[in-house]
Chains A and B, each alone.
Chain A
């Protein structure tokens, strides 16, 4: 299996009030293509920070991150944005859909930044992504009119549509009831198995933890296994 993302001795600290807090302390991690891995740990353990750094939406204070053989430390902000658009998909706890866009437009959004994708291909990809998450009939629905599960499925479709190397999901089931959470987990697993999509979660949801192939435990900014 090929390596998708590699973190080497990554450290990150934040200033909280007047105190510096070490969110990550020398974390090293490799995620390979097709993995369905979860970062597990209590609140404040550094799960989200690890996910953000792996997903290029935050930068480490020290250490290196390599995505698809590219060392991210050398990239400009615009280059990082471009790489995020092409190689990474995000699923957020609060869905973070654009409320004035309907489901179709939300899913289409990442592709609009890619000039090489023409409108016909864009349409095919969006429809395929919506079909994959079972939202074809809801394509013209605004996010505000949809249930939490549907919104999260729309967010997964948006993450999938660019055919990313890695999909990062930060507590994807935290805002969902248990039945809906199960369905979302089933969907992500199905996408992992059928389309070989690489998933990396942060979670403390027991239902999700039991379904994860690889458990990455973190406590006080240090990986336990």
Chain B
């Protein structure tokens, strides 16, 4: 304790310089924690979008080769009802599986009566849609997207109505609006007059879906827009149509699905789980591939954004590292220069090199601890303030706006704290080491002291 008191007194002696160094450590630490908090928020947003809103699940099961070819050869690469049932048996035995659901994906044209737009049609069980939207993680991370932007969920649509949901961009392109909703809110006036002339019985929510069945015959059905959704990603938001699975299966004349999405309770070690599940399925004679959601073939946007964030965080980390190291090296060099005679006196009365180093390391440790404490408090105050202000912004590639949130993890606090603490000690050790190697006689008469 005695030596710590001495260290504290030495810090007080050069308090101005030490305040600057402490501020550098505090700001560096706060910056790291806040950037990590922001990146974590974006990562959670993107991961939740990929797993839930894009309905990939934590694991996606495709017929072997289906991920690449199912769009062009749907009949050959669809998973039929029998196989789905056998997969379901295996998944039900795994206590970590929260839910699984089949999805049918295909291409179609959606028409408002006078113009048609090619879309990617996704058929899902309305219950699966409900599960995704009300999942605690979706409610927590994407409260803006947890419910339809307009209208109702497929599960809440009147049963006799062939309800469909259009993505916002698609609804705008087709000048369609949600049944019973405020038509003017989403309808282009010129299109409205062209497609829904006065006196027409056609509702602004009516659409026709056209395409070919899996065996090549023409198919069509009329539906009513009951909801408007977002894919979360700008590039997909003007071409997404969601319909109940049975409706789309009737449309394509199939009982199959393109993929099954598996939602897990504990989504750790996904790559390993994917391999294990694939092996289990293939062991049952099912020629299937299982992909984790963070496979770029499943979620290209998520993987690209994640890699970008990793590079960004590494860059910020390196900058902070150098700022802290330079601050510490500068402070300790100045301190040691000023205290050369003291250092010489200590060595003269019997302090070893290691003993002298420990004195300076104690000071550096105190300096770092104070800096980290203030940095931690600063990060906490900034995070709480920013989160409380409900600042909204639109990140690139994302549809709509999202709240600017900083969600630093406890792990980030102590990991960055420990890394900065160690950095301060190592930088100090390097500076002190070079000084303690000087001849004692030289230190005793040092003119800079």
Contact A86 B349 (CB under 8 A): no
Q: What 1/0 mask marks residues of chain A from 182 to 219 whose CB sits below 8 Å from any chain B CB?
A: 00000000000000000000000000000000000000
**Stretch of A31-39, A67-75, A95-103, A131-139 on the interface side:** A95-103
CB of A90 within 8 A of CB of B348, answer yes
Contact A58 B345, beta carbon cutoff 8 Å: no
Measured between alpha carbons, how far is A79 from B349 in the docked complex, in Å? 13
Question: In the complex, A97 Cα to B2 Cα: how many Å?
Answer: 18
> Is B158 part of the contact surface with A, judged by Cβ < 8 Å?
no
Contact A100 B345 (CB under 8 A): no
Among B2, B349, B441, point to the contact of A58 (Cβ < 8 A). B441
A77-B353 CB under 8 A given contacts A58-B441, A101-B6: yes
Residues of chain B from 1 to 28 with CB closer than 8 A to chain A in the complex = 2, 6, 9-10, 12-13
Report A16 CB to chain B, min CB distance, Å.
13
Known A-B contacts A52-B441, A99-B13, A100-B6; the reply to A81 vs B341 at CB < 8 A is no
Residues of A in contact with B, size category: 20 to 34
Give the distance to chain B from A194, nearest Cβ to Cβ, in Å: 23
Q: Which residues of A are found within 8 Å of B349, using beta-carbon distances?
A: 84-85, 90, 109-110, 113, 158
Chain B contacts for A110, CB-based, 8 A: 349-350
How far apart sit A113 and B345, CA to CA, in the bound complex (Å)?
Answer: 14
Asked whether A98 lies within 8 Å of B346 as measured between CB atoms, the reply is yes
Distance in Å: Cβ of A92 to nearest Cβ of chain B: 6
Choose one: B12, B344, B353; the contact of A96 (CB below 8 Å). B344
Given contacts A77-B353, A96-B341, contact A55 B348 (CB under 8 A): yes
User: Which chain A positions have C-beta within 8 A of B65?
Assistant: none
- Closest chain-B Cβ to A109's Cβ sits at a distance in Å of 6
Q: Tell whether A96 pairs with B6 under 8 Å between CB atoms, given A81-B347, A90-B349.
A: no
Partner of B345, one of A49, A77, A78, A92: A92
Q: Are B348 and A94 in contact (CB under 8 A)?
A: no
In the assembled complex, the CB of A5 is this many whole angstroms from the nearest CB of chain B, namely 16
Q: Is A21 an interface residue (CB 8 A)?
A: no
Contact of A92 among B9, B12, B444 (CB under 8 A): B444
B contact residues around A82 at 8 Å (CB) = 350, 352
Q: Which residue of B lies closest to A92 (CB)?
A: B444
18 A-B residue pairs with Cβ-Cβ distance under 8 Å, sorted by A, are A49-B441, A52-B441, A57-B347, A57-B348, A58-B440, A58-B441, A77-B352, A81-B353, A81-B355, A84-B348, A90-B349, A96-B342, A96-B345, A99-B342, A100-B13, A101-B6, A158-B349, A170-B444
Does A117 lie at the interface of the complex (its beta carbon under 8 Å from any beta carbon of B)?
Answer: no
A175 within 8 A of B: no
B344 neighbours in A (Cβ, 8 Å): 57, 96
In the A-B complex, the 6 residue pairs with the smallest Cβ-Cβ separation, listed nearest first, are A85-B350, A96-B345, A57-B440, A100-B9, A52-B441, A110-B349
Asked if residues A113 and B342 are in contact (CB atoms below 8 Å), the reply is no
In the complex, which of the residues A96, A99, A113 has the most CB atoms of chain B within 10 Å of its own CB atom?
A96
Residues of B within 8 A of A77 (CB): 352-353
A48 on the interface (CB 8 Å rule)? yes
Those of B404-449 within 8 Å (CB) of chain A: 439-441, 444-445
Determine how close the nearest CB of chain B comes to the CB of A96; give it in whole angstroms. 4
Most chain B C-beta atoms within 10 Å of own C-beta, residue among A84, A101, A158: A84
State whether the Cβ of A146 lies closer than 8 Å to any Cβ in chain B.
no
